[in-house]
A = this chain, B = another copy of it.
Amino acid sequence: MLTLCLVDSIDKRIMGKFQKEDYIAQLSIDCVIFGYKNKELKVLISKLSYGDNLWSLPGGYILQTESIDDAASRILRERTGLDNIYLEQFKAFGGPDRIIGSEFRDLVRSGLREFDPERFDEEAINWVTSRFVCIGYYALVDLNKVDPKIGEFEEFLKWVSIEELPKMTHDHNAIVTSAHKALRQNLDEKLIWFNLLPDEFTMREVKELYEAVYDKEFPMNNFQKKILGLQVLERLGKKFTGAQNRAPYVYRFKK
């Protein structure tokens, strides 16, 4: 985890030094933010503003005054603008070499120095580039409702198919793999909490989402029975697309 302060700490960012005392040292939260579009499961990742081609998961630090769950919610809110999102802690990562990109460490340090010498003195740079343990959370969001906001040292954020992720800093690729595995477990039970789909959707869309998550085909008829059996959907009207076939029903999650 690299990026430091975010939207709600912009005042501090503008006003002065990075207040490392506000945060727990050597402990970060990394978020695997899942979205879904074009039949693909996507992850929101950030391109760092220095280095040739450095990518990373969005993350942040934990304030002394907040719980780790609150920190994860805050970080997610700061990046996506979204609140009340399904968020699950799935694992902590703590190899002794979890230092900002081992091979990139010097690059990062010089990048930080150039970024804002006023704000990042040597002490702060040491803080940021020390060995970190991170707690991984994953979130499920409606990609269309997200207006990604960059953090410090980030050039831009991007939705990338989980199949086509670039090499990222730290062990972030392994973290995504681990999040993906956690997501696959008991998807049915979590379904109602998911925000991956728009408010109203067809059964085919649910099926395609499952296919993206599990990377395998589900026969429509049995899938329909299974999902309806969960008793979490309510059937609304029909959706007339203009296609020359029977109009599918539209569903939404029961409240």
Contact = CB atoms under 8 A, between A and B. Distances in A.
Residue among A27, A64, A66, A70 having the largest count of chain B Cβ atoms under 10 Å: A27
Interface of A: 24-27, 62, 64-71, 89, 91-96, 131, 133, 135
Contact of A96 (B25, B66, B89): B66
15 contacts: A24-B25, A25-B25, A27-B27, A27-B133, A62-B133, A67-B94, A67-B95, A68-B92, A68-B133, A69-B94, A70-B96, A92-B92, A92-B135, A94-B135, A133-B135
Contact of A89 (B64, B71, B92): B92
Given A65-B96, A68-B92, A89-B92, 14 more contacts: A24-B25, A24-B131, A25-B25, A25-B26, A62-B94, A62-B133, A67-B95, A68-B94, A69-B94, A89-B91, A92-B92, A92-B135, A94-B135, A133-B135
Contact of A26 (B27, B66, B71): B27
Which 10 pairs show the lowest CB-CB distances between chains A and B? Answer: A68-B94, A67-B95, A92-B92, A24-B26, A92-B135, A67-B96, A65-B96, A67-B94, A27-B27, A66-B96
Contacts of A92: 68, 89, 92, 135
B133 A24 contact: yes
